[in-house]
Structure 1
Amino acid sequence: MKLGTADFPKLRFSLLLAALMIGIGAGVVYVSRDWAKSAKLRLTAAQNERNEIVGKLQRVRGEESEIKQKSAMFNELRTRGVIGDEQRLEWVELLKDVRDQRKLIDLKYEIAPQRLLDANPVNGYNFFSSEMKLQLKLLHEEDLTRLLSDLRQRAKALIQVRKCAVTRLPRGGAESGTSAQLQADCQIEWITLHEMESSPSGGTVR
């Protein structure tokens, strides 16, 4: 089929129309891609914002849980008598009570003056310690472990054993079955907490 001169205007119109349609199609594709990219960015921003909110909520819940745990711990310490002035007379009575209950053969002690453990307070509290040198005669090593367990459970202080040396005593000197076989020499820290505003002597602790 041959094209005449009269067909060129029609052909040019068709070509222009085709080019226009191609341009419109390309524009639609470009706009679609741009919209998809924008939508993806908006989705990412929304997810980041959500993650940030969730993270803050988790931190708040974690801090709330930590505060509750610390509050419960300090309430327990206060109930036990660990927070406040040291109760030396009660410590001595406790030692005598444990000695009698456990039927310990001999028990001697010496308590040093109270001292500040750390100049940096923890949650508004200062830690103080009174070191006790404890010496006792034992039939068995279990006597020592039971004594320390009783002190940890019942003392109005936190008990920290620095060291214990157990030595065997010479044979003889008492009736069989009742004589001590061992001697224990221990250093024990009796730790109490005091609010930062006041020290055990009534002065301000800085």
Structure 2
Amino acid sequence: MAQNLASPPKTSSPSAKQPVANKSFLKDDFPIIRRASLHLGVSIVLAVSLVVGIRFVLTQQQNKQLQAETELTQMQEKLLVISSEKHDIDQYQPTYLSAIKRGFVGEEKRLDFVEHVKKIQETRRLLPLSYEIFPRQNVQLDPSILVGELELRASRIAIHLPLLHEGDMLNLLADLSQIGTFIPKNCSMVTKPNVEPNLIMPRLDGECELYWLSIGRRPVADPAQAVTPTQ
């Protein structure tokens, strides 16, 4: 007798592959690492900010150091200038004070000149002399001579002096050099004819042309006195 054997039902194997659902990084994976990512981002921002801040501070410090070094150099240069000026003052001050005392610096003191000539005449027992002081003029110097705000001035003096002997003229010039800067330009002595040897009378006629030098500050031009050209 034939037996109908029913085929056993098929059962699924545990090792059978199940269909894999589609995963999204933003939905499935990112939430897992979100906190770590935020920490990493904040750490990067802080690190960059720290580096930038350190560089900024270093730059500021370098600029301040450069500025301090520049100021120090300028102060050292000023100290050198002051030291040099002090050395010049100490070196030339006696000469400057002597020039002031002799009337070379500043305005001419013509009344003092008159008094000094009278005193020289009395001290040296000179015969009566005559002189004329001409208006003061500026002396044109070589452009290579740097005088700054100063200018050299000269007043011409013509002296006529009857002489007992040649030493009278030399003594007069020597005494004048003690009270000012006088540059002889042209001096002459002419013997008088028919002079009695035993009489006290002029034996020579002396003529001398001098320049009385002085130095002073150049006057500043007044703008109010400036002439406006007419059109």
Name the TM tier (shorter chain).
0.5 to 0.7
Paired position in structure 2 for 1:116 = 138
Shift of residue 177, structure 1, vs aligned partner: 3.3
Q: Contact 2:163/2:206 (CA < 8 Å) preserved in 1?
A: yes
| Structure 1: gaps of 5 or more residues | 1-60
Choose which of 123, 141, 162 in structure 1 pairs with 2:166: 141
| Contact 2:139–2:154 (CA under 8 A) maintained in structure 1 | yes
Matched position secondary structure for 2:177: helix
Q: CA deviation at 1:99?
A: 1.0
Counterpart-to-counterpart distance in 2, 1:89 and 1:198: 26
Over 3 Å counting, the alpha-carbon distance change for 1:80 and 1:182 in structure 2 is same
Q: Distance in 2 between matches of 1:185 and 1:142?
A: 14
Count of residues in correspondence between the two structures:
138
Task: Give the partner amino acid of 2:131.
Answer: Y
Counting aligned pairs with the same residue, the percent is 27
1:79 aligns with 2:101: yes
Partner of 2:190: 167
Task: Give TM-score, length-normalised by structure 1.
Answer: 0.58
Note if 1:132 corresponds to 2:154. no
Distance 1:164 1:103 in 2: 20
- CA deviation vs aligned residue, 1:146-190 (integer Å, no higher than 9, x gap): 11100001x2x3111111011001224x78331111111000111
What is the alpha-carbon root mean square deviation over aligned residues?
2.8
1:91, CA displacement in angstroms?
Answer: 0.7
Q: Which runs of 5+ in 2 are unaligned?
A: 1-82, 226-231
Name the SS of the counterpart of 2:172 in structure 1. Answer: helix
CA distance in 2, matches of 1:160, 1:122: 20
2:102–2:181 Cα contact (<8 Å) kept: no
- The structure with the largest alpha-carbon Rg is 2
Distance in 2 of aligned mates of 1:72 and 1:177: 47
CA distance in 1, matches of 2:165, 2:197: 16
Quick one: which amino acid aligns to residue 123 of structure 2? Q
TM-score (norm 2): 0.52
